[in-house]
Amino acid sequence: MIFIEKSYKSDLSSPRVALFGALIGAIVALTVSTVTTALWSLESMCFVLMGQIIVTCFAIVIGAYIAVVSAYWHQLSITDDTTQVYNRRYLFRRLDKELQRAQQHNTALTFAVVEVDNMRTYNNTYGHVAGDAVLFAIAQTLHQEVRRSDIVGRWGGDEFGIVFPDRQLSDALALAERIRAHIDRLSIDTSVGPTVHVTVSVGVAASTNRKSTVLELVHQADKAMYQAKEQKNTVVSAL
């Protein structure tokens, strides 16, 4: 067994090498010790640096994962399961926000209510799976017809709402008529029954002053929709 005997003193203050307790020589270790210390310091720095890189990468991955999961759950919380458009709660919140913005900046805002005619009859005749297919097809049609800035949501069981920011009443009426005509031409494959043809009734209301409330705007659009339903395939505006 060979070891460095550090306690042995010399003029050079160099450690001696002993073999089984017997002195066999001396080693000048100053340079070696300096290099060794430097190597250990470099190794420690590399270890710390690698640790920091790993922790940083881990934090980035975890942060990205949390962001993706949060976005997923947020989207899930504002989306209607059946139709894949916004749900009523989010649609109402956006309508309120857009109304405040329109009143603050004195810009146009219109709101439309779209109701499927005789939806109960479809459900009773073909079943709720077919009824859900009808609602999904109509929701996708609405989404395709509107602008990216417009907001489509499921307002109720067989009703949809559309928020039209910065759109005048005349433009909203023209779009509502185009939507109604498009849906009237649809042939909806329900997968569980025959191809279905449906019609919708649409009511449109516009915010006309800075004192209008969300409930008043919704009431006017709802009232116009029922007038349209009575007149059969006619879009009616409520001012």
Domains in the chain: boundaries: 1-78, 88-238
The mean pLDDT value for 95-123 works out to 93
Q: Kindly state the average pLDDT of the residues 158-180.
A: 94
For 88-238, CATH number?
3.30.70.270
Q: What percent of the chain has pLDDT over 70?
A: 80
Between 11 and 87, whose confidence is greater? 87
Q: How far apart are CA 164 and CA 161, in angstroms?
A: 10
Helical (H) or strand (E) element with 161: strand 159-165
Helix or strand run (H / E) with residue 134: helix 128-145
Q: CB neighbours of 118 closer than 8 A, spacing ≥ 6? A: 198, 199
Cα distances (Å, whole numbers) of residue 89 to 16, 20, 93: 84, 86, 6
Report the distance separating Cα 74 and Cα 71, nearest Å.
Answer: 5
